[in-house]
């Protein structure tokens, strides 16, 4: 039996975006997946407006500080004030980006940006560096991978996170060079320890100032000859990136990661090989790669639909897109993120969030199932945030951040005003006897369905709107809704 337009389109919207929105959900029966893909491309064409929370490094708290040496001369009180302001601003940046994911027409751009946010995992307390890196990712989300890689590699946030500011001639720090190969391009096992050492020498002198500008310091650079991946020369950091992009393994590694994120967590080597070859031949054109994926027949095969566990951010954004709502406290979303294991701008370690089954354990599943009721029933939040941070990558910082979130928001309700009349319009032409299957088909992507007999026990039959409301909330509170 062929798949319906609705199922295909919802599949595309969940994978290339954050799910259907109330105002367009009703139209998904009458448009083809190809037409919807073209619409997603069109709405994401324009360069995004930058999300700017801080105007400069410390937003006026300190003037005239242009390097790290001067920053060290600040008093403890001044440093504490800067860190406190950065933490507050990072919360604001998180909420602002979540708002883009939920409400922006540029769904494809924001979803691609979320992927790159995890691929180029970076955790620094500096708000200016974080918003700068986010804007790099959003601007280059489906441009050329080489341009994105180079800009990210030269961003102060990444250089600081991976310690390249300490990478100097005769005292190389290998951290940045190693992660550029292991996590950003080739993948583990496709380079030698000597390649790491030689690449680290090439990246010496790459740094930044406190204005958020990349700085190359020639006096700290090792100008000697280096041998890297079989090539020898007086290489600098840009040369290393060029050589990495020449390796077909880079295209394979990136393509596999994109396939597992957007298509299926079980990789298909034949399809990945075909995609990677075209990706490489297109000079790493991300948009062409995504077009190859989302216009293919196999993307819409049943084995790829309703099989991916939604990340916490996808789950929250998806609920908010289908249920137009106004949260009394937008910061509630931060506590949900923390409790479910995905705080934007605070990846657990340099490898980012592992995804897949790691999103689900006994405590997170129970909270996931409760979120729709918590939001719509004006409940008070009383949850213990998940702690899965890599001990070597800042457990203490993560715990301090969690404490700040909990102190601020743990006792505040997640109350929200839901515009149920907008939701009801999705189903206004559906006869009463067909409402339950129609709503199920709109809410769930899985082949399995909740028993109608069991569901009927929890439904409100007072009137049509209350019935629709109770069906949606109960379906969103099922294990099936955790999949897309």
For the residues 195-221, what does the mean pLDDT come to?
95
Using pLDDT thresholds of 50, 70 and 90, give the confidence band for residue 63.
very low
Summarised one tens digit per residue, pLDDT across range 430-465 is 999 999 999 999 999 998 888 888 888 889 899 999
Using pLDDT thresholds of 50, 70 and 90, give the confidence band for residue 409.
very low
In this predicted structure, what is the pLDDT of residue 77? 86
In this predicted structure, what is the pLDDT of residue 1? 74
Is residue 21 over pLDDT 50? yes
Q: What percent of the chain has pLDDT over 70?
A: 89
Is residue 381 over pLDDT 60? no
Specify the range with the lowest mean pLDDT, choosing from 27-36, 64-73, 208-217, 336-345: 64-73
For the residues 24-34, what does the mean pLDDT come to?
94
Specify the range with the lowest mean pLDDT, choosing from 75-84, 114-123, 473-482: 75-84
- pTM for the full predicted model: 0.92
Element (H, E) at 58: none
Residue extents of the structural domains in the chain: 312-418, 420-482
Q: CB–CB of 12/40 below 8 Å?
A: yes
For the residues 32-52, what does the mean pLDDT come to?
96
In this predicted structure, what is the pLDDT of residue 119? 98
Residues 6+ apart with CB under 8 A from 152: 120, 133, 136, 137, 158, 184
Summarised one tens digit per residue, pLDDT across range 323-380 is 998 888 899 999 999 999 999 999 999 999 999 999 999 889 999 999 999 888 865 5
Region class of 274: left (phi > 0), else alpha (psi between -120 and 50), else beta = alpha
Q: What letters, b where the CB count within 10 A reaches 16 and e where it falls short, cover 219-242?
A: ebbbeeebebbeeeeebbbebbbe
- Residue among 447, 446, 442 nearest 471 (CA): 442
- Residue among 301, 304, 299, 340 nearest 319 (CA): 340
For the residues 310-330, what does the mean pLDDT come to?
94
In this predicted structure, what is the pLDDT of residue 210? 77
For the residues 180-193, what does the mean pLDDT come to?
98
């Amino acid at each position: 039996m062929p798949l319906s337009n609705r199922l295909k389109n919802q599949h595309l919207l969940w994978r290339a975006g954050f799910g259907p929105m109330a105002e367009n959900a009703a139209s998904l029966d009458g448009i083809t997946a190809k037409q919807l893909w073209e619409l997603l491309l069109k709405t994401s064409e324009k360069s995004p407006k930058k999300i700017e929370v801080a105007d400069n490094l410390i937003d006026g708290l300190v003037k005239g500080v242009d390097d790290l040496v001067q920053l060290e001369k600040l008093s403890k009180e001044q440093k504490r004030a800067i860190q406190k302001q950065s933490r507050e601003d990072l919360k604001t940046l998180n909420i602002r980006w979540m708002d883009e994911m939920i409400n922006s027409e540029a769904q494809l751009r924001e979803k691609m940006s979320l992927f790159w946010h995890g691929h180029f995992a970076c955790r620094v307390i500096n708000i200016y560096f974080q918003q700068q890196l986010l804007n790099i990712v959003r601007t280059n989300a489906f441009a050329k991978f080489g341009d994105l890689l180079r800009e990210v590699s030269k961003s102060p946030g990444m250089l600081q996170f991976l310690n390249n500011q300490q990478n100097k001639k005769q005292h190389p720090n290998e951290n940045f060079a190693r992660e550029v190969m292991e996590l950003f391009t080739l993948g583990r096992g496709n380079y030698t320890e000597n390649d790491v050492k030689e690449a680290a020498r090439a990246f010496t002198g790459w740094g930044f100032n406190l204005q958020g500008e990349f700085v190359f310091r020639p006096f700290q650079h090792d100008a000697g000859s280096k041998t890297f991946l079989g090539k020898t020369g007086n290489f600098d950091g840009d040369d290393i990136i060029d050589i990495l992009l020449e390796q077909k393994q880079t295209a394979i590694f990136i393509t596999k990661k994109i396939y597992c994120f957007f298509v299926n967590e079980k990789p298909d080597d034949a399809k990945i090989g075909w995609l990677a070859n075209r990706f490489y031949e297109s000079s790493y054109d991300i948009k062409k790669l995504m077009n190859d994926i989302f216009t293919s027949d196999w993307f819409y095969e049943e084995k790829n639909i309703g099989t991916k566990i939604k990340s916490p951010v996808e789950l929250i954004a998806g609920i908010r897109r289908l249920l137009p709502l106004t949260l009394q406290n937008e910061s509630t979303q931060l506590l949900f993120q923390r409790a479910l294991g995905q705080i934007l701008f605070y990846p657990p370690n340099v490898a980012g969030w592992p995804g897949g089954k790691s999103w689900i354990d006994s405590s997170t599943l129970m909270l996931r199932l409760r979120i729709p009721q918590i939001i719509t029933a004006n409940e008070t939040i009383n949850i213990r945030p998940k702690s899965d941070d890599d001990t070597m990558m800042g457990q203490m910082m993560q715990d301090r951040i969690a404490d700040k979130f909990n102190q601020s928001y743990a006792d505040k309700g997640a109350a929200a005003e839901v515009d149920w009349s907008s939701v009801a319009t999705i189903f206004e032409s559906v006869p009463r006897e067909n409402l339950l299957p129609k709503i199920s088909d709109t809410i769930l992507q899985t082949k399995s369905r909740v028993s109608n007999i069991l569901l009927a026990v929890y439904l409100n039959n007072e009137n049509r709107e209350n019935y629709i409301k109770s069906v949606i909330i109960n379906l969103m509170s099922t294990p099936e809704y955790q999949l897309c």
